[in-house]
Amino acid sequence: MSARYKISNKNIYGFKTNMYHIFLLIPVIWILTFLIEFGLGPVLYKIYQKDVTLEEGETGTKAGSEVPIAESIEDMENFDTFTMILSGTVLKYDTVRSGENIYHRLQLPSGEKVIAHINRKALQETGEIGIYRAPVGVWREWEAPEEIMVYQKNLAVTDHYIDMYGDYVPVLEETAYTRTLGSAASAWLYVIVVILYRVIGVRRGRFAPAIFWKSDPLLPKNDMECWCASTFAIWAHSFSMLEGWPLVTGVHRNRKAVANFKKVALGEQWDIKSRQDGLQTVHELVEKHAGRLDTVYAGWDLCRATQLLGMMHMVKMINREEMDREFSAAGKVIQQQFGSWEEMAESYLGGYQAWLERTGEQNAAQYTERRKNIFRTLKADPDGPYSLPWRTDLTWIPGGKGERTEIKRILFRYRAQGI
């Protein structure tokens, strides 16, 4: 299938359609962020602080006066928990890094050398310069990492170490916590707003989905809709503002297209201001040719009737059920009038040129030739609008149900494509 006609979307990400809505929401996001940071933040901080703060006496917390001081491996094996008196020199220089952890090589008063993992935030001054009381510790069994095993000859044991860190997690100050919470909330609110903007925009038909193109609500739901959209495919590819087939509306509901359809295409050119006006016009175009084979330029009237239905649905003048019902009726008359897509197109193009000439257009022949070229290009596309069987069943079934053989084939390789 030719990439040029895979369709159909000049605004695939929706960033050209009413983006000012997102910018208008920025002050709202700021206000919500402010409320979260200064209103909800202090409440959540208390919960956060409680969750991350270790209970008094747990491994890695500040050691109270009741915690015994260990001076040997034997002491550590005998005590459930213990503390030590350490010098700042050892804490500063005798270190070993393994991954994210920093360990210390300690020499106990007994002369034994061991490895310790110390929570430096829980060290306490003793009143003597450079001497500190260590956090609560336990003598813990482990499999020493390679970085520690380098010092194996100098250590009394390598299958145990002093754990004075435990489950400690650095606790943020309240100001830092609420500021971080506010920043995260601002980022997430913006992401949520953008996602909602896209989801709502796609559901309302403003632009195509950026990824799941086949879920576009303006694509045909069945073979009948696809066939009827093909009847005005020439028109749908004739103007720069349109996106083309197989959209049943010819274009998505962006603000500019909706305004143009309502004011100019329907209002000024057809004098259609309401649902009743539109359906009356469609019925007049169809009934003029229904049951007759001797009318002039039937293709011009009938293809414009289906085109009007797509336009009316695009501006939400009629719903999908009404469009489908009228599609079915008009499509059946088109099938009665002609025996092929070529016959329909010939009648349509003849009526188009005659209409241009009646309006006094000096370049009627050139404009008509341009649309003929569009038809030839679309006709040559093996998965294009005129690849559908002429005698496709156009029975209207409420709820958008119906045969889907052809539309599945068409959409198999379909993808929305920015132009």
Phi, psi (degrees; rounded to nearest 5) at 333: -65, -40
Instruction: From residue 353, give the alpha-carbon distance in Å to each of 65, 115, 240, 363, 366.
Output: 103, 94, 20, 10, 9
Q: Check residue 280 and give its pLDDT.
A: 98
Q: Check residue 6 and give its pLDDT.
A: 42
Q: Check residue 21 and give its pLDDT.
A: 59
Three-class DSSP category at 333: helix
Block means of pLDDT (10 residues each) for the chain, 419 residues, are: 40 50 71 84 80 82 94 96 89 87 93 94 90 95 93 93 89 83 85 82 85 88 97 95 92 91 95 97 96 91 98 97 97 97 97 96 96 96 95 90 91 64
Three-class DSSP category at 78: helix
Q: Check residue 2 and give its pLDDT.
A: 38
Measured CA to CA, the distance from residue 83 to residue 176 in angstroms comes to: 31
The length of the chain in residues reads 419
Measured CA to CA, the distance from residue 305 to residue 124 in angstroms comes to: 87
pLDDT tens profile 199-256: 888 889 988 887 788 889 999 999 999 999 999 999 999 998 898 999 999 999 988 8
Instruction: From residue 388, give the alpha-carbon distance in Å to each of 115, 302, 382, 384.
Output: 79, 18, 9, 8
Measured CA to CA, the distance from residue 253 to residue 315 in angstroms comes to: 7
Helix H or strand E segment including 259 = helix 255-260
Measured CA to CA, the distance from residue 50 to residue 29 in angstroms comes to: 29
Helix H or strand E segment including 224 = helix 223-231
CB atoms inside a 10 Å sphere around CB 131? 12
Phi, psi (degrees; rounded to nearest 5) at 271: 55, 35
Task: Decide the pairing of beta strands 113-118 and 101-107.
Answer: antiparallel
Q: Check residue 9 and give its pLDDT.
A: 44
Instruction: From residue 7, give the alpha-carbon distance in Å to each of 256, 267, 385, 388.
Output: 19, 28, 11, 17
Helix H or strand E segment including 105 = strand 101-107
Q: Check residue 200 and give its pLDDT.
A: 86
Burial letters for 52-82: b for 16+ Cβ neighbours within 10 Å, e otherwise?
A: eebeeeebbbbbeeebeebeebebbeebebb
Q: Which two tokens stand for residue 35?
A: 């409320």
Three-class DSSP category at 11: coil
